Amino acid sequence: MWTRVWRCLWLVVTLMLYRAGGVVLGGVEVGEYLKDRVVGLPGQPKVSFEQYAGYVTVNTNDGRALFYWLMEATHTASSKPLVLWLNGGPGCSSVAYGASEEIGPFRINKTATSLYINPYSWNKLANLIFLESPAGVGFSYTNTSSNLKDTGDERTAEDSLIFLVKWFARFPQYKYREMYITGESYAGHYIPQLAKKIYEYNKRLSKPFINLKGFMVGNAVTDDYYDNLGTVNYWWSHAMISDQTYHSILRNCNFRLEDTSPTCDSFISYAMNQEFGNIDQYSIYTAPCGKSSGDGKKSSTRFKKSLLTLRGYDPCTESYAEKYYNRADVQKALHANITGISYSWTACSDILIRNWQDSDFSILPIYKELIEASGLRIWMYSGDADSVVPVTATRFSLKRLNLTVKSHWYPWYYSKQVGGWTEEYQGLTFATIRGAGHEVPLFRPKAALQLFKSFLSGQNLPANPTV
């Protein structure tokens, strides 16, 4: 009994000392993470979970620091896994997309004056951490301006690993906790690359504290050749382009090259500008946004660069986020923009997208390596109404892995209706989400929550309509 009493007294004294400026025990500042606690956001409804946000410096010499936002689970957070969400672009914000319109607990109203609850938030099942990566995305910054023009896949993966190592030092209660990485689009590069970094890092430790158990990527950029081939195939099979244009693209475009020819570009441009019509390419069966996106969708002269520009962009809902996160009171509540960044917060960084450097032509070798060596739980999913990184592209890439089928193709269910279709392979599970666009949790939130639940549990998606 007295032991428990003394423990309680010690905790009270520690918290009092922290509030007075912190206490150091054994060289480690106790409760350092409490400095990042978010008491509440402007216009936020009351919630039962804790939030933390702030910066982790990943490169002292260049002054690179990454911004994160942790939203703990709604119930029994101490026993729930940790899930890192990454959006792609490259150069798009996980706060803008993942947190604010996909899997986070809050949604922003149209006037950017208040928040409301997302009933299908993934923090019902896990503690969620959203990372704005690389430096230059959202609130993440660098004091070396050249970093904005020489960033690529390798630095992004390395900085993300450094972020995690330092973040776990700040949040020791999450060390050894089951951890997963999820995300979408160009995070099809980020996530497997980071998973490989973590796997290699852990091999050097006798007791790894980053307890990575698996990852899941949606509408994932995977292999330039098969992604491009599968995208054109999707356009044709969904009647978005004519037979003539389809065959002209196949004859004149060599997708095995890093850059396409001017002739190829002209046919791609004709398809996108003349034959698509006024549609939302991220969700071809829903109404497009009324305003001009200004994202270069129709003006890109290179097919590959055009797809990089498209990925991760939603022209309507992001505008609410840009209004909200540029508010000074919101930034203060999130401990964001503490250095006075010289530019406004945006959902995607044009300068990063335009100047992206190293980009792996194919991520398939990483999948092969991790499937064979790591034992990680790996899932890929596709919203089947996305024409930007479509389901056909992912299926073409998966076929090249030559994986053994464990559970053959079948429909999966949620709320007594078909949620999509799935197939389980040796080392990887693939699922489609029926009627969902590029941002699956935005278009099919309830189905996405079921997908996430099955992924975390390691169970197959429900095969009967009673679920």
344 and 399 fall within a common domain = yes
Give pLDDT tens digits for 255-270.
Answer: 998 888 999 999 999 9
170-218, pLDDT tens digit by residue? 999 999 999 999 999 999 999 999 999 999 999 999 999 999 999 999 9
Confidence of residue 465 (pLDDT cuts 50, 70, 90): confident
The token pair that represents 296 in the structure block: 């270069």
293 and 432 belong to one structural domain:
no
Q: How far apart (Å, rounded) are the C-alpha atoms in residues 304 and 229?
A: 11
Give the Å distances, CA to CA, from 110 to 186, 280, 316. 27, 20, 10
The span from the CA of 300 to the CA of 195, in Å, is 32
- Average pLDDT (62-75) is 97
Say whether both 247 and 380 belong to one domain. Answer: no
Are 416 and 450 contained in the same domain?
A: yes
**What is the pLDDT of the chain when averaged over all its residues?**
89
pLDDT for res 466: 73
Residues 323 and 306 in one domain: no
Residues 256 and 366 occupy one common structural domain: no
Residues 63, 111, single domain; the answer is yes
Range of the domain at 108: 36-222+317-467
Residues 25 and 123 grouped into a single domain: no
Assess whether 65 and 91 both reside in one domain.
yes
**Do residue 345 and residue 277 come from a single domain?**
no
Q: In what order do the strands lie in the sheet with 405-414?
A: 51-59, 64-71, 127-132, 82-86, 178-184, 211-218, 377-383, 428-433, 417-425, 405-414
Domain tally, the chain:
3
- What is the model's pTM? 0.89
Quick: pLDDT tens for 157-167: 999 999 999 99
The pLDDT of residue 2 is above 70: no
For the stretch 179-191, pLDDT in tens is 999 999 999 999 9
Q: What percent of the chain has pLDDT over 90?
A: 83
Write the pLDDT tens digit of every residue in 416-441. 999 999 999 999 999 999 999 999 99
Is the pLDDT at 18 greater than 50? The verdict is no
Write out the catalytic residue numbers: 185, 386, 438
Task: Please check whether residue 101 is in contact with residue 314, taking contact to mean a CB–CB distance below 8 angstroms.
Answer: yes
Whether residue 263 is found in the same domain as residue 197? no
Task: Show the CA angle centred on residue 436, arms to residues 435 and 439, nearest 5°.
Answer: 170
Q: Residue 365 — very low, low, confident or very high, per pLDDT cuts 50/70/90?
A: very high
- In sequence order, the β-bridge partners of residue 182 are 85, 216
Share of the chain above pLDDT 70, in %: 87
